[in-house]
Amino acid sequence: MRKKIYKKMLILSGSVLGGFAAGGALILYLAWCFKIPAAIAAAAEVIWLVICYLIAVKTSGKMTKKIVQPIQKIDLKHPEKGCVYEEMQPILLRMGRQKKMRQKNEKLRQEFSSNVSHELKTPLTSISGYAELLMNGMVPPEDVPSFSAKIYNEAGHMIRLIDDIIKLSKLDERPTEIEKEPVDLYEMATDAANRLEMLAKKNRVTMHVEGAHTEIQAIPQMTEELIYNLCENAIKYNKTGGSVTVTVGQENDKGKIVVKDTGIGIPEKYQDRVFERFFRVDKSHSRQIGGTGLGLAIVKHIVEYHGGDIRLESRQGHGTTFTVVM
């Protein structure tokens, strides 16, 4: 019923006022035909217009209520459902998507705050405990170096964690003022491999860079961070005697970086979550190697900032391959 009323109003828009005006003209015409005095004809036209005005006000009020009523009944929790007007569907669908996005962002913010508190509290508790033992002279002289090393390592973990949080915060701000420059992906991959040479030797992992010089428009610092994080993860989560291969090339006129390792791999059930902040497949192993749980989240943010795409292929026990196209 409401749809029919609404459509009629759309079709007959303006015809009601036109009918009223035609009625007034008809009164004047009849007065002229029957030679009715002009004063009486004018009075009749005024009365007609007043009646028409009252009818229009009453009718428009009723029709407006019938039109507005379904709008007022829209469920704001699910705005995309239940509206009878097709013209409103696009904006209601957008409202629904925005509401879901706000809820998702709020959930992520709460999880992030909770995780930050936990990640900072863990090393601080260790530092406080070791420092208290040293302060009270409860540590034998021969154990002082090891206790000091533990404090140093926990402090280092906190510094890395805070640095990563700052990087993520800057990426969340979308720094549009930074101009992109020509960047050679092959040179950056080679530089990352050279910087990680000592870590690779320590973990008994061999590292190779292959492919061709590929230039793209990107932010150098971010691109360097992206490649370094992927390569560092490939070394840290590898097996003794394993290897890391970085291949640089092109795909659909865009730059492509492939980082492939022979490491421990990622179980399929966790592969959709590896880019989440603070998510770790093996928390104990990640703590041992000094991971903050933010490396891949930073990588994903950088790729998205450049309008690129990142893909993951992995089998538990058989290694992992990350492919970045941007």
Number of domains in the chain: 3
Residue 119 domain-assigned (yes or no) = yes
Residue 93 domain-assigned (yes or no) = no
Same domain, 32 and 115: no
pLDDT digits (tens, 9 = 90+) for 187-228: 999 999 999 999 999 999 999 999 999 999 998 988 998 999
**Among candidates 76, 116, 127, which has minimal Cα distance to 98?**
76
Same domain, 150 and 48: no
Q: Supply the CATH number for residue 143's domain.
A: 1.10.287.130
Residue 83 domain-assigned (yes or no) = no
Confidence band for 48, pLDDT divided at 50, 70 and 90? confident
Sheet with 309-315: strands ordered across: 206-211, 243-251, 254-261, 319-325, 309-315
pLDDT digits (tens, 9 = 90+) for 267-290: 888 888 888 887 777 665 555 565
Q: What is the pLDDT of residue 11?
A: 41
Q: Supply the CATH number for residue 240's domain.
A: 3.30.565.10
Same domain, 206 and 148: no
Q: Report CA torsion sign: 72, 74, 80, 83.
A: negative
Whole domain around residue 310: which residue ranges? 181-325
Same domain, 135 and 227: no
148 Cβ contact list (under 8 Å, min separation 6)? 134
Q: What is the pLDDT of residue 290?
A: 58
Residue 84 domain-assigned (yes or no) = no
Same domain, 191 and 275: yes
Domain boundary (57, 73, 89) is at 73
Q: Token pair 């603070």 is at which residue?
A: 278
Residue 317 domain-assigned (yes or no) = yes
Residue 101 domain-assigned (yes or no) = no
Confidence band for 55, pLDDT divided at 50, 70 and 90? confident
Residue 95 domain-assigned (yes or no) = no
Same domain, 218 and 314: yes
**Among candidates 40, 45, 56, which has minimal Cα distance to 22?**
45
Q: What's the mean pLDDT in 58-84? A: 72
Same domain, 185 and 312: yes
User: 3-class SS at 150?
Assistant: helix
Residue 81 domain-assigned (yes or no) = no
Same domain, 287 and 165: no
Same domain, 168 and 192: no
Same domain, 261 and 318: yes
206 Cβ contact list (under 8 Å, min separation 6)? 200, 242, 243, 244
Same domain, 250 and 146: no
Same domain, 194 and 241: yes
